[in-house]
Structure formats: structure tokens, C-alpha cells
Amino acid sequence: MSSISYLTRIEFEHGAVRRLPALLDELKVARPLIVTDRGLAATGIVKRVAGLFDAAPPVFDATPANPTEAAVLQARALYRETGCDGLVGLGGGSSIDLAKAVRLLSGHEGPLALFTAVAGGAARIHGRICPMVAVPTTAGTGSEVGRAAVIVTAEGRKLGLVSPFMVPSVALCDPELTLGLPPLLTAATGMDAISHCLETYMSPAINPPADAIALDGLRRGIAAIRAATRDGSDRTARWEMMMCALQGALAFQKGLGAVHALTHPMGAIPGLTLHHGTLNAILMPAVLRFNRTAIGGKWAVLADILGGTPDQVIATLCAELGLPGGLRALGVTETMMQHIAGEALRDHCHATNPRTASRDDYLDLLRAAA
């Protein structure tokens, strides 16, 4: 068992999920609410986790693919009705982010728009909120150690709620929970983790420890993603991909960039359900090319780790993994791109891209990835 203290407490090991009841006892949580989604519930994992307790906890399993404020309020209502005093975010980034937003509302009154990064909400967020254990079942977002929850607010904008207080009390990382994850979802979530490592390293903020973590995560992810996608039972590859996801999120405390400034508003497009990691993978080659002139010697470092020209290596990898070849294949239209380009300027990740992008630049990036 590796116990790490960096931003929060992390328990990382095959089989670690069995420690969940003991960890909640340490946090003095007597009645947790498990926040998850119906897809995961159908796999039996939710039942398995609930079975670890003497009395099965209440479960909210209606997390949407892109979590919404409406779903957050439904989960909060269940939290209150069942007398809960803590949370377990169980699933991918969507479920963990939704649990984080419920946790925020355990000590604050809404609406969530008040607490978004673009509205200066960090200053309104305090630590008088309930404990939470995050249990990831994919190796992608790293939300289990992230200080943000990304939610589609009541106004229809996908925005970050960002504060050090948003980091879960404990991240309980068990690679066994990702065994058997379908190949395409393994690839998409894995590329999400890799995009975090790439973007945070390119971010101009000065944070050498974060850069070192991002590069180590990138090495692990690039080396393991093909094996993890090819063989869902490869325990070593699953361990490496979960560590890559964890490291990407530990590192992106220094900020992300243009990829996420674009994919956040894309996740709020009405009528489309777009997977965040897939979008990151599709956009990454174009953003790498866009940033090349602004990152100096970092380009050579990335080329050395990736084993070739960064944008070309990532594009080839995405094709090998069977990910969609462009945004239009996902139903993204020119009209949608026009809207997204404007929204990207208002996203909190826009400010930490190494090269300042204009609306026209964002539109060009979208078209290049179409």
C-alpha cells in the first residue's frame, strides 16, 4: 500500500476499495451517500461496493454523462432525505464531480453559478463541508485528486467550481475496478489522462514539481495505454494508467489550456452527449501545433518522451486506439463551432494556455480537428 500526502490523502493499490468502510469511519462518516451512474450500477460494481458495509448505504445513480446542476440538486435532496453525513463519489469523472458539487452544497447555498471560477467563486467556497471519499473506476479525469468539479450549470454553461476545498478528503484508487473496462472507453479515458499531462506541462505557470509529475505521468500513460486498451485484464497496464490519471490531475493544479477551454463548452451542447476524453484526444494534435512556438524547449522534451513529433505521435496513437477521426463524426457542426469558439474565451482554462488564443484561433483549432 502506498500512502501519499500531496494535496490530499491517496490510498493506491489493487484491492484498496475494501478499505472504504474503515476510511469513512476515520472521517467520522456514519451514513454516506454513494454517488454513481446507472452504467456502472449495471456492471455490478456499485452493488459490490455497497456490500462492503454492514448496512447498504443509499445510492444516487442518476449522474449524467456531463453532470448537470439539476442532477446535483436531486442528489443533494436524497442526501438530506436519508440523513447522510458524507459522500462517496464512485465512478468516472462525471460521478466524482457531481459528488463534489453535492459536497459543496452541504455547506453552501446555491446556485452553483455563484461558485464558478469565471465568477470569482473560489473566494466564496469555505471548508465547512462534509467529508468525501473519491473512488475512481476509470483512469482518465483524475478528479479524485482535483480541486475542481465541472458542472453544466442551470444557465447551460459547463463551468468549473474550483477551490482547494473541493479536493476530496481521501482518494481511494483501486486499479482492479478498471479491469474489463471496454476498449474504446479505456482509450478515451486514457487519452484524457495523457492530455492533462501534456497541457499542464505546457502551461506557462512556474511549478517545477507539477511539471515533473506531469512528465512522469506522460511516460507511464504513453507506455501503457495500448496494452490497457488491447487487454482489459492486464493488471500492470491498468495500474500504470490509473497512476497516469492521478498524476495528470495532481499536476494540473498549475492550469490546463486550449484543449480544455474548448472541450468544456462542447460538453454543454444541447442534444449531444460528447465524451470529454474523446474530445481532448481529437483536439490535442491541433493544440500542440498551435502551442509549438510558445513552449520553447518543452517541445523537444515532449518529442523525446513521445518518440517523435508530438502532434503526429498523438494523432497516430488516437487512430491506433480506434478513436473517432474528427469532431464532425460526433455531430459537431460549423454553427456549434462558432458558438464554442466564443465560449472558450470565457473558460477558466483559457488563461493558462501558453499561447494566447483569439476567438478566430479557437475556431481554426476546431476546424482543424473537424
Long-range contacts of 230-234 (CB under 8 A, 24+ apart): 230/183, 232/179, 232/180, 232/181, 232/182, 232/183, 232/186, 233/179, 233/180
pLDDT at 93 over 70: yes
Question: What gap in Å lies between CA 280 and CA 110, rounded to an integer?
Answer: 30
pLDDT at 3 over 80: no
pLDDT at 2 over 60: no
Long-range contacts of 106-109 (CB under 8 A, 24+ apart): 106/76, 106/79, 106/130
Question: What gap in Å lies between CA 42 and CA 97, rounded to an integer?
Answer: 20
String of b and e for 121-149 (b: at least 16 CB within 10 Å)? bbeebeeebbbbbbbbbbbbbbbbbbbbb
Contact 154, 69 (CB under 8 A): yes
Residues 6+ apart with CB under 8 A from 52: 17, 18, 20, 21
For residue 141, what is its C-alpha cell?
Answer: 479525469
pLDDT of residue 87: 98
Q: Which domains does the chain have, with CATH numbers?
A: 2-177 (3.40.50.1970), 181-368 (1.20.1090.10)
Average pLDDT, the chain: 95
Query: Using one digit for the tens of pLDDT, what is the confidence trace for 316-350?
Result: 999 999 999 999 999 999 999 999 999 999 999 99
User: The whole model's pTM is what?
Assistant: 0.94
pLDDT at 355 over 90: yes
Residues 6+ apart with CB under 8 A from 91: 35, 36, 37, 40, 63, 135, 136, 137, 138
Question: What gap in Å lies between CA 222 and CA 199, rounded to an integer?
Answer: 15
Task: Report the C-alpha dihedral over residues 190, 142, 104, 211, rounded to 10 degrees.
Answer: -130
Question: What gap in Å lies between CA 169 and CA 163, rounded to an integer?
Answer: 13
Q: What percent of the chain has pLDDT over 70?
A: 98
pLDDT of residue 253: 84
Band of residue 296 on the pLDDT scale cut at 50, 70, 90? very high
